[in-house]
A and B are shown apart, each in its own frame.
Chain A
Amino acid sequence: MAETTLPNKFVVGLWDHEEVYLHAVEHIRHKGIEIYDSLTPFPVHGLEDALGLKETRLHTAGFMFGATGATLALSFMTWVMTTNYPINFGGKPYWPVPSFIPITFEMTVLFAAWGMTLTYLVRNKLWPGRVPRIYDKRTTDDRFALVFNAENLNEAQIAELKEVCRKEGAVEVKDRVFTPDEQL
């Protein structure tokens, strides 16, 4: 993620069936071939396991954002009601914790939601003006794609890779080279 120059030369294999694709991912990884990216038109159950992805840390971030919101809300209301401007409401204590809870809850949700959304967008480089790399437009329609980094592969290796994909049921295998104007 931290690399400054992204590879520009790829091999893209396209599948047309979820099951075949899932098996292909398992077999290809089993052969020790590194998969650069995987694109599917819909979430494929079991794909994370097959790809060997690590568990996302987004929910940990979410918990922390939520805890921040809760702490902020509680401490601000506590400060206002006990120190800054204590008012008696209906004979309730000056530190009426139960009536803080709904606001604390809302602040927790607000912080967690915004924090997670922004973290997600930043982490995936989805800021405005970004030109996304599209390996194949059909991955949003009816094709399941596996992308392999071909930057450091020679002709023979690329041919072998393509052969493996076809054997695993890819309906189409193609080269994809990004030109400078398609750069991220």
Chain B
Amino acid sequence: MGSHQTTTVTTNEKFEFTAGIRKALHIMMGVGIVGLLLVYIFNPENGHARFWSNILLNTYYFTGISLFGLFIVAAAQLAYGGWHTLIKRVLISMGAFSMIGGFLLLFTLITGLLGWHNLYDHVKHILHDHHNEKYTNKHIFFNPPFWVARVLIYAIAWAALSYAFDKFFGEKNQIDPKVYKQSKLLSALFIVVFAVTESFVSWDMVMSLDPHWYSTLFGWYNFASYGCAGWAMSILLVIFLKSRGYLQAVNENHIHDLGKFLFGFSIFWTYLWFSQFMLQWYGNIPEDTNFWVKRFNTGYFKFTIFLSLIINFLFPLLFLIKRSAKRNFKMIGFGAALLFFGHYIDFFNYTAFEPVVREATHDSHHGGGHSSVSQRFTLLAEVHGEHNAPAEKAPTSDVPSHADVHLQNTAAPAHAPKHESHGSHSHATAHFATIGLGELMIFAGFLGLFLYFCFSRLSKRNLIVENDPYLEECKRLTVTWA
């Protein structure tokens, strides 16, 4: 390759959002709408929970990815980074979806509070029963006006910052020292806003699906997860643009840097996944372990949890670690596509399970009495009927006599009351929490929407930020052996 002939390549290319691409994206969005309709019609169980949890999952996932595109720009700008200058516009265009992403999340929340679906039904219990010590002071945090106002603020802040990034890096002369200083301020502002809002939104929209479960690193964890997806998306976009003859100055050195970040974030994600899992497994507090027990007791979620670990950890560890894999467009493209789907599965594990549980709690609610933690445990243990009377099995002080003490035993806290007999309603509803055709169609639809926003913004201006002080440096980027 040689690092010097690239300087002659023209930089003022402009991405053309051709009719062909538009058509392809329209088809994807159409597929998504059909998928939503199919899921809505064929899975009316539990207030169309499959439909709504899919909307939440995809909105959250793609908003995260889009915000992460802006985050990369902001972080690199603050760190005097020059390696990404050639693809800065691509990253900023990834941020286009966050113009609407926050509002879609707000829509999901408001419809939930209005009772259109029951993803956030727990709020009713919390508000109704807030003297129950199990809920501590959650009724303050999950007070609907406060809750909605928070999400509204995130949505507005993200849209404003996304717009500001596009405007600022697209129109200002970056080589002007004054503008350069302003770019630092803007980036710092974004980092601060993003750090706070991404944590809060993860609690508001995802962790609160299970109001009894806490994870103190959840915001961080979510950041790492859609971070991986964000790097994967940026790699795929760069490869796509290159395959269509754009971004000629971008070579394997740039993709290598993106690949290294993808690899690094995958390990970072694993670190957080494991930290979260092991502390809860070891701490053995019913409220924590509940989250895992109910998933591990479902064969399907046990499978998806391990699948996400294999794709998101083992695969990058063994495949992306090699320099040659990160420098080969086909190989890194394959890796990025796989990880992009892997982190979808990861979020799926968080958002898709709760509707099943909600069904169980919901039914018990009809049976009279409020659903309490202990009742939920009993119900959960029963959902999959794999344990014979777990309440009796609860090991508190007696030492297990055999080595195969499973995590599942923690499912039944000692204080769990004897459960009344319930129907097999949970078996009837459990089947819809899977990655089926509907999920894939909806995923394709949201991907189409995301790319539509991305390409619209990309085609608005030149593909490369001109007058950037780091442009020359970026063109000569060489990734050394070290």
Interface of chain B residues 302 through 352 with chain A (CB within 8 A)? 321, 323
Given contacts A49-B1, A55-B481, contact A90 B284 (CB under 8 A): yes
Residues of B within 8 A of A47 (CB): 480
The reply to whether B403 and A95 contact each other, CB–CB distance below 8 Å, is yes
CA distance A148 to B282 in the complex (A): 62
Can you name the residue of chain B whose Cβ is closest to the Cβ of A95? B403
The reply to whether A91 and B405 contact each other, CB–CB distance below 8 Å, is yes
Q: How large is the interface on B (under 10, 10 to 19, 20 to 34, 35 or more residues)?
A: 20 to 34
The reply to whether A98 and B278 contact each other, CB–CB distance below 8 Å, is yes
How distant is A81 from chain B, measured CB to nearest CB, in Å? 9
The reply to whether A93 and B403 contact each other, CB–CB distance below 8 Å, is yes
The reply to whether A45 and B478 contact each other, CB–CB distance below 8 Å, is yes
CB-CB contacts of B244-271 with A at 8 A, as 1s and 0s?
Answer: 0000000000000000000000000000
Q: Is A82 part of the contact surface with B, judged by Cβ < 8 Å?
A: yes
The reply to whether B2 and A26 contact each other, CB–CB distance below 8 Å, is yes
The contact of A43 among B278, B400, B476, B480, by CB within 8 Å, is: B480
The reply to whether A55 and B323 contact each other, CB–CB distance below 8 Å, is yes
CA distance A55 to B284 in the complex (A): 48
How distant is B74 from chain A, measured CB to nearest CB, in Å? 25
Can you name the residue of chain B whose Cβ is closest to the Cβ of A19? B4
CA distance A43 to B478 in the complex (A): 12
The reply to whether B481 and A53 contact each other, CB–CB distance below 8 Å, is yes
Size of the A side of the interface (Cβ < 8 Å), in residues, is: 26
Given contacts A45-B478, A53-B481, contact A101 B2 (CB under 8 A): no
The reply to whether A92 and B405 contact each other, CB–CB distance below 8 Å, is yes
The reply to whether A88 and B278 contact each other, CB–CB distance below 8 Å, is no
The reply to whether A46 and B478 contact each other, CB–CB distance below 8 Å, is yes
CB-CB contacts of A78-112 with B at 8 A, as 1s and 0s?
Answer: 00001000101011111100110110000000000
The contact of A46 among B3, B400, B482, by CB within 8 Å, is: B3
Can you name the residue of chain A whose Cβ is closest to the Cβ of B283? A90
Residues of A within 8 A of B323 (CB): 55, 59
Q: Is B133 part of the contact surface with A, judged by Cβ < 8 Å?
A: no
The reply to whether B400 and A91 contact each other, CB–CB distance below 8 Å, is yes
Interface of chain A residues 52 through 88 with chain B (CB within 8 A)? 53, 55-56, 59, 63, 82, 86, 88
The reply to whether B278 and A99 contact each other, CB–CB distance below 8 Å, is yes
Interface of chain B residues 465 through 481 with chain A (CB within 8 A)? 476-478, 480-481
Given contacts A86-B403, A92-B405, A93-B403, contact A98 B3 (CB under 8 A): no
Residues of A within 8 A of B476 (CB): 45-46
How distant is A23 from chain B, measured CB to nearest CB, in Å? 8
Residues of A within 8 A of B281 (CB): 98
How distant is B270 from chain A, measured CB to nearest CB, in Å? 10
Q: Is A48 part of the contact surface with B, judged by Cβ < 8 Å?
A: yes
The reply to whether B284 and A101 contact each other, CB–CB distance below 8 Å, is no
CA distance A98 to B279 in the complex (A): 9
Q: Is B274 part of the contact surface with A, judged by Cβ < 8 Å?
A: yes
Residues of B within 8 A of A102 (CB): 278
How distant is A37 from chain B, measured CB to nearest CB, in Å? 16
Q: Is B112 part of the contact surface with A, judged by Cβ < 8 Å?
A: no
Residues of B within 8 A of A90 (CB): 282, 284
CA distance A102 to B278 in the complex (A): 10
The contact of A101 among B278, B406, B409, by CB within 8 Å, is: B278
Interface residues of A, Cβ cutoff 8 Å to B: 23, 26, 43, 45-49, 53, 55-56, 59, 63, 82, 86, 88, 90-95, 98-99, 101-102
A-B contact pairs, 25 of them (CB 8 A): A26-B2, A43-B482, A45-B3, A45-B476, A45-B478, A45-B480, A46-B2, A46-B3, A46-B478, A48-B480, A49-B1, A53-B481, A55-B323, A56-B481, A56-B482, A82-B403, A86-B403, A88-B399, A88-B400, A90-B284, A91-B405, A92-B405, A98-B281, A98-B282, A102-B278
Interface residues of B, Cβ cutoff 8 Å to A: 1-4, 274, 277-278, 281-282, 284, 321, 323, 395, 399-400, 403-406, 409, 476-478, 480-482
